[in-house]
Amino acid sequence: MCGIVGMVNGHPVARDLVTALGRLEYRGYDSAGVAVAGPGFEVHKVIGGTTELMGKVGNGFAGHAGIGHTRWATHGRAEVRNAHPHVWDGVAVVHNGIIENYHDLRGRMIANGETFESDTDSEVIPHLIAAARKAGAAPMDAVREACTELHGAYAIAVLFQDVPDRVVVARQGSPVMVARGRNVAAVASDPSALSALCDDYAALEDGDLAELSNHGVTIFGRDGQLAQRCWQKVEGAEEEAAAGLFGSFTRAEIAAQPVALRNTDAALAGRAIPQAIADAERLVVVACGSSMYAASTVRPWIEKLTGLPCDLEIASEYRTREAPLSRGTVGILVSQSGETADTMGVMEMLKARNVPIVAVVNVQHSQMARGADLLWPTMAGKEQGVAATKSFTCQMLALIRFGLALGLARGTVTSGTLVAVERELAGLAVVCARAEMLEGQFEAVAERLVREGEALFIGRGSAAALANEGALKLKELSYLRAEAYAAGELKHGPIAMIREGSPVIVCAGAGQHAGKSLANAEEVRARGGYVIALVDDASAAAFAPVADEMIVLPGAGLGTLFAQAVAMQLIAVHAAVVLRHPVDRPRNLAKSVTVE
């Protein structure tokens, strides 16, 4: 979380910095700031995003070197004094990550008579660097020295008032890339931020330092020696969903699902599984948030196709549980960003125990994608809305494709099953497009949920898992209270919440134990609940007398699940629109969760 950039250029750099920061806003957007040097030394910070910052920067900043930051608050509220860059004694720093020992460092510095403006962990960093400079260290050495005192995760970019022609970068635990272009040396949390300016980029490794100057980029490894890193082409700005036509990127990304699914399917169809993974005796899928729900929704397919038990583990819990790993376990990490801190933590843990790792990742330059034994990519394209939409359905598809490929390698997929699954997969894009056409009905549901101020999502089997995603989407976009339960669990307690008019969204279809969910819907109705059924054609007649509202979705089997996913995405978007919430940037969230 948080995005950092830095640049040394042959001309005033401020506007380029802010433009690049704009492409990093998915990492946080509660405040933003830049510092530029040479000539002069100027710092500007604002509450809000880069539009506000561009307004401040205007054309007035002359400096040819600079750093910038877009923030997702960890320590300290979203206030200007907590925004980056933090400056002390002519040293300005932008930081992504968390400094765990900042309390001790700050205490020591305060005892020394130093003062602090912010509540952040980051502000100790310029203090440490400035102290080293005062003691005579050159800029690069001062940063190196400061880093020896920092515990935790960081990617930092540092600007010096008295050496205004360079930026120093350091990395430990948080992703950061250096990049080169004609007359520009740059750094950013994500190379796509620099696509308009730079030709190639290299991901720094833990312990690396880099210097950006008019001579280009120089990288040093942990041992202080010059280091070679792998330079790759910066891809041109990816085709981005046209928010303008749809009102928000999120809505546009929902509409982009058919294309995203086709691209993902085309990339994965026919891919073979390496032997070390085909030899698996057990699978453990580890993920967070929507990525976890994507995996839990399609787990039955993975298990059926491979004949292997497939455990599901929430990354933040799994990494601290010290769970025993049985022989032959293969880890499957699922992540849109490929940089979620908890999932990355599990990756390290599994690697240390020699567990082969498959990464189902959308951002293919990410550390997770690069570090896996097998990258099994989703090709959803860039997702600009903070809420996962097209990445979610692509993850479901990719995981089923993985199950199919693994099943074929293990000999557990019959030719009949292969044909049937291929046929279902081929139809998913069209099902999503047809589901989207029912938007008016989803909008009406959203209006009801907003009126009632809450929602309960229920289903059985895969639909029970998917219900969690429905509730999550509604919570994050509309901030309404929303819960999800396996329909059979209602009577074990949650049914006490049902009052006259409580909206209950029931997901049911063939293959989702619709008959049993129908009985649960009846129980809700008998207690005054308002039943909204998201059903397939085959279940419609049975639900008609029970449902207060019913939306008959396209598709059958797997297709129903994808249609239900689209339905729940659109309900959440419309609830946010009714409530006038920022659909693409819900409060308190960021797209990449790089803190634990």
By CB under 6 A, tell whether 290 contacts ligand F6R: yes
Least CB distance from residue 316 to ligand F6R, whole Å? 10
By CB under 6 A, tell whether 595 contacts ligand F6R: no
Least CB distance from residue 592 to ligand F6R, whole Å? 6
By CB under 6 A, tell whether 131 contacts ligand F6R: no
Candidates 329, 343, 393, 502; binder of ligand F6R (CB under 6 A) is: 343
Scanning 241-249, 282-290, 480-488, 561-569 for contacts with ligand F6R by CB under 6 A, the matching segment is: 282-290
By CB under 6 A, tell whether 593 contacts ligand F6R: yes
By CB under 6 A, tell whether 335 contacts ligand F6R: yes
Tell me the torsion sign for CA atoms 127, 209, 14, 165.
positive
Task: List binders of ligand F6R among 225-254 (CB under 6 A).
Answer: none
Element of type H or E holding 231: strand 231-233
Candidates 94, 288, 295, 399; binder of ligand F6R (CB under 6 A) is: 288
Tell me the CA end-to-end span of the chain in Å, nearest whole number: 10
Q: What is the 3-state secondary structure (H, E, C) of 288-326?
A: CHHHHHHHHHHHHHHHHHHCCCEEEEEHHHHHHHCCCCC
Tell me whether residue 211 or residue 476 sits nearer to ligand F6R (CB atom). Answer: 476
User: For the purposes of burial, counting CB atoms within 10 Å of the CB of 395, is it exposed (0-12), middle (13-18) or buried (19 or more)?
Assistant: buried
Tell me whether residue 9 or residue 468 sits nearer to ligand F6R (CB atom). Answer: 468
**DSSP three-state, residue 423:** helix
Tell me whether residue 343 or residue 462 sits nearer to ligand F6R (CB atom). Answer: 343
With CB under 6 A as the rule, give the number of residues binding ligand F6R.
14
Quote the tokens at residue 310: 């497939």
Q: How far is CA 541 from CA 369, 518, 551, 585, in A?
A: 46, 11, 12, 39
Least CB distance from residue 254 to ligand F6R, whole Å? 12
By CB under 6 A, tell whether 291 contacts ligand F6R: yes
- Full strand arrangement of the beta sheet holding 152-160: 86-88, 91-99, 152-160, 167-172, 209-213, 216-220
Instruction: Find out whether 387 and 476 touch, Cβ atoms under 8 Å.
Output: yes
Contact letters (x/-) for ligand F6R, 137-166, by CB under 6 A? ------------------------------
In 464-582 the beta strands, taken as DSSP E runs, fall at 481-486, 503-508, 530-535, 549-552
Tell me the torsion sign for CA atoms 409, 412, 415, 421.
negative
Tell me the torsion sign for CA atoms 337, 341, 345, 351.
positive
**DSSP three-state, residue 245:** helix
By CB under 6 A, tell whether 347 contacts ligand F6R: no
Scanning 139-147, 264-272, 283-291, 407-415 for contacts with ligand F6R by CB under 6 A, the matching segment is: 283-291
Tell me whether residue 355 or residue 380 sits nearer to ligand F6R (CB atom). Answer: 380
Candidates 313, 476, 536, 584; binder of ligand F6R (CB under 6 A) is: 476
By CB under 6 A, tell whether 459 contacts ligand F6R: no
- CA angle at 351 for the pair 346 and 354, rounded to the nearest 5°: 130
Least CB distance from residue 387 to ligand F6R, whole Å? 4
Q: Which of 2, 288, 394, 507 is catalytic?
A: 2
Least CB distance from residue 85 to ligand F6R, whole Å? 26
By CB under 6 A, tell whether 208 contacts ligand F6R: no
Least CB distance from residue 317 to ligand F6R, whole Å? 14
Candidates 82, 189, 306, 336; binder of ligand F6R (CB under 6 A) is: 336
- CA angle at 146 for the pair 144 and 150, rounded to the nearest 5°: 110
Element of type H or E holding 435: helix 415-436
Q: Is 147 a catalytic residue?
A: no
Q: Is 2 a catalytic residue?
A: yes
Candidates 96, 306, 337, 378; binder of ligand F6R (CB under 6 A) is: 337
Candidates 70, 263, 329, 340; binder of ligand F6R (CB under 6 A) is: 340
Residue with the shortest CB distance to ligand F6R = 289
- CA angle at 496 for the pair 495 and 497, rounded to the nearest 5°: 85
In 249-394 the beta strands, taken as DSSP E runs, fall at 282-287, 310-314, 329-335, 357-361, 374-375
Q: Which residues contact 572 (CB under 8 A, 6 or more apart)?
A: 387, 446, 470, 473, 474, 476, 477, 478
Task: List binders of ligand F6R among 383-402 (CB under 6 A).
Answer: 387-388
Q: How far apart are CA 121 and CA 199, in angstroms?
A: 34
Question: Which are the catalytic amino acids?
Answer: 2, 591
Q: Which residues bind ligand F6R (CB under 6 A)?
A: 288-291, 335-337, 340, 343, 387-388, 472, 476, 593
